[in-house]
Amino acid sequence: MKIVGLLIGVLLAGIVAAQPLSADVVFKKACEQAKQENKNVFLMFHASWCGWCHKMDTSMNDPECKKMFDDNYVIAHLVVDEAKDKKDLENPGADKMRNDFGGKDQGIPYWLVFDSNGKLLADSKMRKVGTQIMAGDNVGCPASEKEVLYFLSVLRKTSKMSREELEIIQKRFRKNEQH
């Protein structure tokens, strides 16, 4: 009987361990790391099925760009919008967090940039020049010239990237439009 109880305990522990961390925990850990490393947090909402989410990750992890992102941001992902059979991949509270930060009905990837204290610095909604009031359109994974220029403006505002580094990122993200 003790062996059966032990096996059930081990199985339950495995199930609990397999559950994704809550959005709050992921965000808190990212902010703590960012504070220690003097960086900002780049938080991306994505899903396993999302082609544009994969393009965003591929672009940010491109060998020519990866160090620039890693030197300036703690990058964290929250899973949302999974299919019914993959709902277990979603981070609890991620959808609410996305909605709380203006991402309701914006599509994915949807990303936010925070300072290490959790203050929102930027989001992926491109607004008309000179206004922060309009809702804006989610650029998701930047590809078009207009989207990439907006993305670069966010990076310029929230990182220490040089003009040369931003030009490399610009070239890489513009490739997304051709694929």
- Edge-to-edge strand order for the sheet containing 120-123? 73-79, 40-46, 110-114, 120-123
Q: Is the pLDDT of residue 54 over 60?
A: yes
Handedness of CA 159, 35, 108, 122 (dihedral sign): negative
Q: How many domains does the chain have?
A: 1
Q: Is the pLDDT of residue 85 over 80?
A: yes
Q: What is the pLDDT of residue 132?
A: 53
Task: Provide the domain limits for residue 24.
Answer: 20-178
Q: What is the pLDDT of residue 171?
A: 97
pLDDT in tens, 18-35: 789 999 999 999 999 999
Q: Is the pLDDT of residue 81 over 80?
A: yes
The answer to whether position 1 is within a domain reads no
Q: Is the pLDDT of residue 41 over 60?
A: yes
The answer to whether position 6 is within a domain reads no
The model's confidence at residue 137, banded by pLDDT at 50, 70 and 90, is confident
The model's confidence at residue 178, banded by pLDDT at 50, 70 and 90, is confident
How many angstroms separate the Cα of 1 from the Cα of each of 6, 8, 12, 117?
9, 11, 17, 50
How many angstroms separate the Cα of 23 from the Cα of each of 4, 79, 90, 154, 162?
34, 9, 9, 23, 32
**Domain CATH number, residue 61:** 3.40.30.10
The model's confidence at residue 6, banded by pLDDT at 50, 70 and 90, is very low
Q: What pTM does this model have?
A: 0.86
The answer to whether position 12 is within a domain reads no
